[in-house]
Chains A and B, each alone.
Chain A
Amino acid sequence: MTAAAPAPPAATSAATSAPVTKQPPAEAPPGRIVYDFVIPARAPWSHVVRRDQTLRVIDLEGNQAVDCILYSAADPAERYSSCETIAAQRNIFLTTGTVLMSNEGNAMMTLTADTCGRHDTTGGACSCESNTLRYGHHTKHQHACVDNFLHELGKFGLGKRDMVSNINWFMNVPVEADGALGIVDGISGSGKYLDLRAEMDTLVVISNCPQINNPCNGFNPTPVRVVVTEAN
């Protein structure tokens, strides 16, 4: 939990990492870039974003779900709560202005920009196990976000007890009048991004979703880019 901000922390998935991109994103985030990384398709990733730094997540090729959980770097028992976030803003969708809340009722990060429009926090993360219910037992051994999360959390001494309902950046999950809910065609596109300002030192853990059985990734998982900036 002590990873320094500028250098890619030990927790970054070195074995599967793509080379750090040197060029700034097409639409440069404000401030000085202190970290810049392309998360390969299907890969997990983590990084501590310090208070007042901003994390930009960029959907490079479009319609790529980015599963995400936040932990307080100081005390990972405090972590993102979808329920608290939804109840606090009285809306199930995340967009500009949304404050991502912890299970103890504290602000963790604020969505300061969002060119996609809205994001999901009710659909949860795909898992090998739930895939068997959703699609059939033939999907048991496909890559899944929960395995990515467990792999990444292990680097911090965290585990399955630390899994909670997550955020799905760029994923579209409407709820209809009768309660019907489902992951449907995405509304994101190439180059869409969101900015998250850290309100506390936050361990951000991402699974770049490997799901191939529904439209959350357009049936084709692709890389996403993460850029951390801070005030000049």
Chain B
Amino acid sequence: MTQQQTPVPQQQQPNLSTPLRARDHARAQGRTLVRAMPTIPASDAVDVPPGVAPADVVWDETLDAGDYCARVLKRGTRARLIDLDGDACANVLLYNADRPVERLNVADTVKVQWNAYLGPGNLLLSDMGRVLASITADTSGRHDTFCGASNERSNARKYGHGENHGPHPNARDRFALALAKFGLGRKDIPANVNFFKHVKVEPDGSLTFVGGVGAKGEYVELRAEMNVLLVVANTPHVLDPRPTYTASPLRVLAHRGPVTPPDDPVRTATPEALRAFENTEDYYLS
């Protein structure tokens, strides 16, 4: 947001009195680099994980505070969410891209796995008993499955205003915009998960905001176990106590990979996980 909202200082106002002058002025802006933007083509991405060929990178995009992105990822794709400067909050939703009425179910995700704190080897489950994605790497371990997305009201309470067009856009409105571009709407926003900001449940059920590790470059790797629509908003956690709207840049970096094999340790880790993978494989039979 910051980048787009800061006008580029100009030496002097150019003469744009004709279409061709305006065209040249517009074209001269091409290839400008800012902190938060996609890498197109994705194969030009730098700092890719070891062993990943540039040609296998399918998506590289950096989100500043308040930014969002969404993308369909084929089954087997590995998507890294990278907390570049150690203070991002990745609000994440997942859908079956081929039939998005199937979507992330956070309640099933924590209930079926008997644990509310996500970490490496955990699954993100759909409401149809299948695995949308598995967490194949996680250097942070600081996540949240309880608090969901900020909305206009919650941001207004904390920051004075929370409208989507303002300086403190809320996660719910960002989700809605991302989804609108895939023909989905506000009804299609279920409970989400938040990566890099942990909330701890105390014995009496009360919540303590723990936040992130704070180290640069922490990442979570999601392996798409179905063809998924991944939606990400980098907005401050709804319980983040800081009075200023704070989220450092979040990079999304995805590359092609094979479909999970039968002997994969995540697939076979628990009886519940195995059945979730079996259900997923069964779905792709027909």
Give the B-binding residues of A (Cβ under 8 A): 77, 81-84, 86-87, 90-93, 103-106, 118, 122-125, 127-134, 136-137, 146, 160-166, 175, 177-183
Give bound CA distance, A130 to B110, whole Å: 12
Task: Give the Cβ gap from A49 to chain B, nearest Cβ, in Å.
Answer: 22
- Which one of A77, A124, A162, A183 has the greatest number of beta carbons of chain B within 10 Å? A124
The CB with the most chain A CB atoms within 10 A, among B130, B146, B185, is that of B146
CA distance A124 to B145 in the complex (A): 12
Listed A/B pairs (24) with beta-carbon separation below 8 Å: A81-B191, A83-B238, A87-B146, A87-B207, A92-B201, A93-B205, A103-B172, A103-B189, A104-B153, A105-B151, A125-B107, A128-B129, A129-B130, A129-B279, A132-B279, A133-B112, A133-B125, A133-B279, A136-B275, A137-B275, A161-B187, A162-B187, A180-B116, A182-B111
Assembly CA distance A163 to B107 (angstroms): 12
Nearest first, the 3 closest Cβ-Cβ pairs linking A and B are A124-B107, A83-B148, A179-B117
**CA A132 – CA B117 in complex, angstroms?**
22
Q: Which of A162, A179, A183 contacts B116 (CB 8 A)?
A: A179
**Chain B residues with CB under 8 A of A175:** 116, 201, 205
Give the residues in chain B near A162, CB-CB below 8 Å. 187
Given A103-B151, A127-B127, does the pair A77, B186 have CB atoms closer than 8 Å?
Answer: yes
Contacts of A77 in B (CB 8 A): 185-187
Give the distance in Å from the alpha carbon of A160 to the alpha carbon of B125 in the complex.
16
Q: Which of B112, B154, B205, B238 contacts A134 (CB 8 A)?
A: B112
Are A122 and B188 closer than 8 Å at their CB atoms?
no
Assess A105 versus B154: contact at CB under 8 Å? Given A127-B127, A134-B111. yes
Q: Which of B235-282 contact A (CB under 8 A)?
A: 238-239, 272, 275-276, 279
Q: How far is the CA of A160 from the CA of B128 in the complex (A)?
A: 11
Give the contacting residue for B117; candidates A92, A124, A178; CB below 8 A.
A178
Closest approach, in angstroms, between the C-beta of B127 and any C-beta of chain A? 7
Q: Are A90 and B111 in contact (CB under 8 A)?
A: no
Please give the distance in Å from B138's CB to the nearest CB on chain A: 14
Contacts of A181 in B (CB 8 A): 110-111, 114-116
- Known: A105-B151, A122-B107, A133-B276. Contact between A165 and B190, CB under 8 A? yes
Are B151 and A124 interface neighbours, CB within 8 A? no
Other than the known A77-B185, A165-B190, what 13 A-B pairs have Cβ atoms closer than 8 Å? Answer: A83-B147, A84-B151, A86-B148, A92-B201, A122-B110, A133-B108, A133-B129, A160-B127, A165-B106, A179-B115, A180-B115, A181-B114, A181-B116
Chain A residues near B107 (CB, 8 Å)?
82, 122-125, 165-166
From known contacts A87-B154, A87-B239, A136-B275, infer whether A129 and B111 are also in contact, taking CB-CB under 8 Å. no
- A91 and B189 in contact (CB under 8 A), knowing A125-B107, A180-B115, A181-B114? no
| Distance A137 CA – B148 CA, assembled complex (angstroms) | 31
CB of B101 within 8 A of CB of A161, answer yes
Tell me if B108 and A105 are in contact (CB < 8 A).
Answer: no
Chain B contributes a number of interface residues (CB within 8 A of A) equal to 46
> Contacting B207 at CB < 8 Å: which of A82, A90, A127, A182?
A90
Q: Cβ of A86 and Cβ of B207 under 8 Å apart?
A: yes
Q: Is B163 an interface residue (CB 8 A)?
A: no
Chain B, range 31-77, C-beta contacts under 8 Å to A: none
Q: Which residue of A lies closest to B276 (CB)?
A: A133
Tell me if B272 and A134 are in contact (CB < 8 A).
yes
Which residues of chain A are near B276, meaning CB under 8 Å? 133
B24 at the interface (CB under 8 A from A): no
- Interface presence of B206 (CB below 8 A): yes
Contact of A122 with B190 at beta-carbon distance under 8 Å, contacts A87-B154, A87-B238 already known: no
Chain B residue numbers with a CB within 8 Å of A123 are 107, 111
Is B152 engaged at the interface, CB distance under 8 Å to the other chain?
yes
The answer to whether A92 and B151 touch across the interface, beta carbons within 8 angstroms, is: no
Which one of A160, A163, A183 contacts B111 once the chains associate, using CB atoms below 8 Å? A183
Chain B residues near A137: list those with CB within 8 A.
275
A107 to chain B, nearest CB (A): 11
**B207 adjacent to A104 (CB under 8 Å):** no
Q: Which positions 177-236 of chain B face chain A at CB distance < 8 Å? A: 185-192, 201, 203-207
Which of A86, A106, A128 has the most C-beta atoms of chain B within 10 angstroms of its own C-beta?
A: A86
Contacts of B186 in A (CB 8 A): 77, 103
A105 vs B107: C-alpha distance when bound (angstroms): 20
Q: How far, in whole Å, are A124 and B110 apart by their CA atoms in the complex?
A: 9
CB-contacts of B106-163 with A (<8 A): 106-108, 110-112, 114-117, 125, 127-130, 146-149, 151-154
Of A105, A133, A177, A183, the contact of B272 (CB 8 Å cutoff): A133
Q: Tell me whether A83 and B188 are in contact in the complex, defined as CB-CB below 8 angstroms, given that A133-B272, A134-B111 are known contacts.
A: no
